[in-house]
Structure 1
Amino acid sequence: MTGGGVRVGGRSPGRPIRTEPLKSTDTNAVIMTTTLGTASAAPGEFDTGRLEVGEMRDGTTVGLPVAVLNGATDGKTLYVQAVSDGDELNGLGVLNRLVPQLDPDEVAGELLIVGVVNLHAFHAAQHRNPIDDTKMNRAYPGDANGTSSERVAAATFDAAKRADLVVDLHQGSTSRMINEVRVRCGPRHSLHRECLELAKAFGLGYVLDQKGPDGQLARAGPDNGIPTIDPELGGCVGWDDDSVSLGVEGMFRVLRYYGFLDGSVETELQTRASGFDQYGSPAGGLVTFERELGERVGAGDALFTVTDPFGQLKGRVTADNDGIFWRTRRLPQVATGEYVCSVGTDVDSF
């Protein structure tokens, strides 16, 4: 790859993404340089840097790791981010493997990348921002003068708003979950079809098509006219090689489908769920699952049993509706009423 490293120069590290003309030696030519924080790249270049989002308690600057890939030819702009939740590392694994494979000379358009959004939670190895105890993906579009999480959301959303497409890489935290893509704008949204198209291009095979909570980037993006998806790359502690590989493949599919890279993409039917049934435990004890992730279930089918430490049955839970066994807790021990699993419902193909 060309470029690389961190080039600061006289630029303000906290400055949002922008594109500015840079005069070349040819007085008739104008080179458009793209910057994100301290990262700056002319056409055919790649650069890394930091996007300032505040200070630590000792006054140390908090700078998110960012990268800019400016393709050699014109095209669309794609914004990608990972680790919005500090313990969701599969998206970072995707970027770690994807970016070295991209040659700016072979790319049309621009990629704006934030590698670690929730930097405070990432360093603490926890889900929520420990500075304000906030789940970052409930803070969008953010507030430049707000809480720690709102400021991070505002700075990253400034970059996302410059894009034609947004991919927000997630996973199912540390629980077990199928690999899926989430479309969170809701079926009545004016960009619903475009978001579904982006999800289909990513091509994980499963799509959750359900309006998400306020503050999600996958809702704020469409509300600002930008098709946005939220790939949930499985769920694990650390990162999972299989889910990371699927995420890399999905990103390449998006890059080819929307013309950033040469090559064609044939989209396939995706299995879509429009809702969830969530199940808690009827008793305290140890859970044994009766279904595998991704398996179809019918109403009345056994989902799991709960036993005491000596294997004596304390409860059995069955499905309320037809659907797909979608997500489970990772640890077997449960208290009465504690979350155990989810079934995706209202299932169809598109």
Structure 2
Amino acid sequence: MITLGTARAPPGEADTGRLEVGETRDGSPVRLPVAVINGASDGKTLYMQAVSDGDELNGLGVVSRVVPRIDPATLSGAVLVVGIVNYFGFQVAEHRNPIDDRKMNRGYPGDPEGTTSERIAHATFQTAKEADLVLDLHQGSTSRMINETRVRCGLRHHLHGDCLELAKVFGCGHVLDIKGPDGQLARAGPDQGVPTIDPELGGCVGWDEESIRYGVEGVFNVLRYYGFLDGDVDVEPQTRARGFDQYGSPAGGLVRFETDLGERVSVGDTLFEVTDVFGSRKARVTADESGVFWRTRRLPQVAAGEYVCSVGTNVDTY
């Protein structure tokens, strides 16, 4: 029998339930939606979670499509899922947890007596750290971004190679291989000996079906490659960036992008122009380094100094 919160599944069965992680302001319990898929035969354990950031819904789209498609009778091992991590942020469609104004994915491994975010992080990490592999499904918030996977443990971590392999198997096509901030699950998991990656499935308001397809295919790639399900996986080379340049606007006005997401750029290529409201150019911004046009703001209006776009740099293929 495998349990996660109130979900209980013997071998060859699946169940859904709730994981209690605290209380709301009126004393009502906070219960995260969870699923357990317990394979008919022994094998590894995959832990997967989504909506650590309350406005990042593509991961939830992946979970809602993947869980019904996994037949426990044909599964070896187990898949454990927390469908919505940032309970409070999800309710109000906000990135951060509005109760403690914390970004959930900065609180791992958590604290059972800490803020609401730290308590949720602690409760979910108790399951994640016992798994063999971890997928923490994200997206580039509501910005526009390519589909990519992030390896956050750092190049010198003893599990870097394992995390990089997991990212390659997931197969979004692009990998950002840069050590992440303290408190990220993709940092805390490897520190506990568990290969962990952070798929960043595009960026949108609501959810995007193309990015969700990347995520669904990625999860099933992982399930097949690591022996949870039968089937072959064509592991394809990935474009990896080991640097990340961000560009702000030198002037206020309207942004016109001259480069499309995913395109290669060279030093001196125009990334964007800024015009006034009547279309006259006020500024032109070019690439400082060669790389891949990775991410952009969604709205065209911009203030002087405000974030506009990012370029993945130090690019190779692995």
TM-score, normalised to structure 2, is 1.00
Amino acid at match of 1:282: P
What is the distance in 1 between the residues matched to 2:74 and 2:196?
Answer: 24
| Letter of the 1:77 counterpart | T
Partner of residue 110, structure 2: 142
d(CA) in 2 for partners of 1:337, 1:78: 42
Q: Which has the higher contact order (CA 8 A, sep 6+)?
A: 2
1:41 and 1:100 mapped to 2: Cα distance? Answer: 15
CA distance in 2, matches of 1:161, 1:302: 45
1:348 aligns with 2:316: yes
Aligned to 2:96: 128
Instruction: Flag the structure with larger Rg.
Output: 1
Supply the distance in 1 between the matched residues of 2:50 and 2:37 (Cα, whole angstroms).
16
Distance 2:200 2:68 in 1: 22
Instruction: Pick the aligned partner of 2:141 from 164, 173, 182.
Output: 173
Are residue 209 (structure 1) and residue 196 (structure 2) matched?
A: no
Q: Which runs of 4+ in 1 moved over 2 A?
A: none
Specify the SS of the correspondent of 1:274.
strand
Matches within 5 A, 1:22-61: 33-61=1-29
Q: 1:66 Cα shift?
A: 0.4
Structure-2 separation of matches of 1:248 and 1:321? 33
Amino acid aligned to 2:57 = L
Are 1:184 and 2:152 matched, yes or no?
yes
Corresponding residue number in structure 1 for 2:30? 62
> Deviation of residue 264 (structure 1)?
1.2
Residue 161 (structure 1) shift: 1.0
Match of 1:243 among 205, 211, 218: 211
Flag structure 2 segments of 5+ consecutive residues without an equivalent. Answer: none
AA partner of residue 122 (structure 1): F
Q: Give 1:266 deviation, angstroms.
A: 2.1
Name 2:230's counterpart in structure 1: 262
Q: Residue 22 of structure 1 aligns with which residue? A: none
CA distance in 2: counterparts of 1:165 and 1:42, whole angstroms: 21
Residue identity opposite 1:216 in structure 2: Q
Counterpart for residue 97 of structure 1: 65
Report deviation, 1:41: 0.2
AA in 2 matched with 1:248: V
AA aligned to 2:14 is F
5+ long unaligned stretches in structure 1: 1-32
User: 2: CA distance between counterparts of 1:313 and 1:77?
Assistant: 55
Output the amino acid matched with 2:317. Answer: S
Structure 2 match to 1:164: 132
Tell me what 2:187 maps to: 219
Residue 72 of structure 1 aligns to which amino acid in structure 2? A
What residue is the counterpart of 2:123 in the other structure? 155
Residue 218 of structure 2 aligns to a residue in which SS? Answer: helix
In the alignment, what sits opposite 2:248? 280
Paired letter, 2:159: L
Which residues of 2 match residues 301-340 of structure 1 at below 5 A?
A: 301-340=269-308
Residue correspondences, number: 318
Helix, strand or coil at the partner of 1:46:
strand
Identity score, percent: 74
CA distance in 2 between counterparts of 1:208 and 1:313 reads 33
1:262-294 CA distance string (max 9 Å, x none): 011121110000011100000000000000000
2:242 match: secondary structure: strand
Task: Report the CA distance between 1:172 and its aligned residue.
Answer: 0.2
Aligned partners of 1:313, 1:204: CA distance in 2, in Å?
Answer: 36
Alignment partners' CA distance in 1, 2:137 and 2:245: 24
Question: How many Å separate the matches in 2 of 1:60 and 1:262?
Answer: 43
Distance of 1:75 and 1:158 partners within structure 2: 20
**Separation in 2, partners of 1:315, 1:227:** 44
Cα distance, 1:87 vs structure 2: 0.1
| Cα offsets for 1:172-209 (capped at 9, x unmatched) | 00000000000000000000000000001100110000
TM-score by length of 1: 0.91
2:93 partner letter: A
SS in 2 for 1:345: strand
Q: Match of 1:119?
A: 87
1:35 aligned partner, one-letter code: T
The Cα offsets for residues 6-62 of structure 1, whole Å up to 9 and x where unpaired, read as xxxxxxxxxxxxxxxxxxxxxxxxxxx000000000000100010001001111100
Q: CA deviation at 1:107?
A: 0.3
1:78 aligned counterpart, secondary structure: strand
Q: Which amino acid aligns with 1:204?
A: C
